[in-house]
Amino acid sequence: MKRIATLICATTLGLMANIATAQPNITDLSFTDPWIRGSVPGQKNGAGYLIIDNKSGQPAAMVSANSDRADRIELHTIVREDGVAKMREVQEIPVPANGSVTLQPGGYHVMFIGLTQPFKEGESIPVKLNFSDGRSAEVTFTVKAPTYMGGGGMQGHGHGGHGMMKGN
Ligand SMILES: [Cu+2]
């Protein structure tokens, strides 16, 4: 009997170790300079940008996002076809282990489709970003002017800590 108990215990420990490996802490991810371009009159869609840093040794991937300010959100990139830049939906935006990904004009972005109301400069927009391992983070985006093009070169890329993180 004693031997069986030991076996079960070892199995349980093994399972726990697996779970710990599969679920890196949400605090391994940080979100810098989240912003959305302000809407011009009549605009139906909008785009959001930010830098996602991954301090863990395991790759991460953003797979979806939610906000009550749009009918739905898609993840987009921009590809060149015959010299024309076109938006293309992607299934995920990868964040390399011990690395970062920058969503910026001309590249990856969070696409708000069917705005429920226009984005006005200065507004704060909470957006839930969801990752492939089930984690999600609530990040507050700041609406910039319709002409704004980004943080200007990304030098210094300080960690402002705008994002509120929520484990899942
Ligand atoms: Cu787009």
Q: How far does residue 138's CA lie from ligand 1's centre (Å)?
A: 21
What size, in residues, is the chain?
168
Q: How far is the CA of 49 from the centre of ligand 1 (A)?
A: 11
- Residue 55: inside a domain: yes
pLDDT value at position 160? 38
Distance between Cα 10 and ligand 1 center (Å): 50
For the chain, how are helix, strand and coil distributed in percent, rounded to 5?
A: 15, 45, 40
Question: Would you say residue 113 lies in a domain?
Answer: yes
Give the separation between CA 48 and CA 33, rounded to whole angstroms: 10
Q: Is 139 a domain residue?
A: yes
Q: What is the mean pLDDT of each run of 10 residues along the chain (168 residues)?
A: 48 46 67 97 96 95 97 97 94 97 97 97 97 94 95 45 39
Specify if 108 maps to a domain.
Answer: yes
Domain containing residue 88: CATH number:
2.60.40.1890
**How far does the centroid of ligand 1 lie from the alpha carbon of residue 159, in Å?**
25
Question: Ligand 1 center to residue 105 CA distance, Å?
Answer: 10
Cα 85 to ligand 1 centroid, rounded to whole Å: 11
Q: Show the domain range for 110.
A: 25-166
Question: Would you say residue 106 lies in a domain?
Answer: yes
43 within a domain of the structure (yes/no): yes
Question: Ligand 1 mean position to 46 CA, how many Å?
Answer: 8
Residue 141 lies in a domain: yes
In a domain, 1, yes or no: no
Going from the Cα of 89 to the center of ligand 1, the distance in angstroms, rounded, reads 7
What is the number of domains present in the chain? 1
Distance 74 CA to ligand 1 centre (A): 8
